[in-house]
Amino acid sequence: MGKALSIVVACALLASASAAAATTPTSYRAQVNGICRVYVPLIKQNQEIAAAAQNASNEDAVGIALGYLQRYMLALDGHIEAVAVPSTMRTQMAPILSILKKVDSQIQAGVAKLLAGDAKSWAAHLESVSRLGQPLNAMFTAAGLRDCTYGS
């Protein structure tokens, strides 16, 4: 029993030491901005492709670009959400992460509707994604995550 208790205590101490060694705001910003520098150019590129294809009335190209756009947005959001937020930034990051999760949910629901043959509902989900994401650029900038801004 004593050995088991020692192991439990050692694990608890290790866990608390890990929590205390959480990332600093500076390292968090550097890590998240680095992630964004990979995905944001791809997102912007596909936004431009979709807009150009829409102007050319090329529905297939619009659909392909929007598919890639959504794929990159989900990947970016997932990577951002996976980074441990320092305790001093949790209040600032909580609304951002909440919006990202809502956006992801709308993208996934929209794709499910599209796969079920309901393009009209998919379009409604895209509108919801756009509406939900509107405050993100200002929120990212305020959090020092300028490389994460995209869109209008």
Q: Which amino acid is present at 120? A: K
The tens digit of pLDDT for each residue in 105-142 reads 999 999 999 889 898 998 898 899 999 999 999 999 99
For the chain, the residue count is: 152
CA angle (4, 5, 9) in 5-degree steps? 120
Answer yes or no: is 73 within a domain: yes
Burial class (CB in 10 A: 0-12, 13-18, 19+), 28: buried
Answer yes or no: is 34 within a domain: yes
Q: What is the DSSP letter of 106?
A: H
Q: Which two tokens stand for residue 2?
A: 């004593």
Q: Which amino acid is present at 92? A: Q
Answer yes or no: is 71 within a domain: yes
Q: 91: closest CA among 53, 35, 142?
A: 142
Please give the mean pLDDT across all residues of the chain: 86
- Phi-psi group of 85: left, alpha or beta (phi > 0 → left; psi -120 to 50 → alpha; rest → beta): beta
Whether the predicted pLDDT of 47 surpasses 70: yes
Tally of domains in the chain: 1
Answer yes or no: is 7 within a domain: no
Contacting residues for 107 by C-beta, under 8 A, at least 6 apart? 70, 73, 74, 125, 129
Q: 145: closest CA among 87, 104, 97, 107?
A: 97
Answer yes or no: is 14 within a domain: no
Answer yes or no: is 11 within a domain: no
pLDDT value, residue 152 = 55
Residue 16 CB neighbours (<10 A): 10
Contact 132, 96 (CB under 8 A): no
Full residue range of the structural domain in which residue 68 is found: 24-148
The tens digit of pLDDT for each residue in 60-93 reads 999 899 999 999 999 999 999 999 999 999 999 9
Answer yes or no: is 8 within a domain: no
Contact 150, 134 (CB under 8 A): no
Report percent pLDDT > 70 for the chain: 84
Answer yes or no: is 70 within a domain: yes
pLDDT value, residue 151 = 65
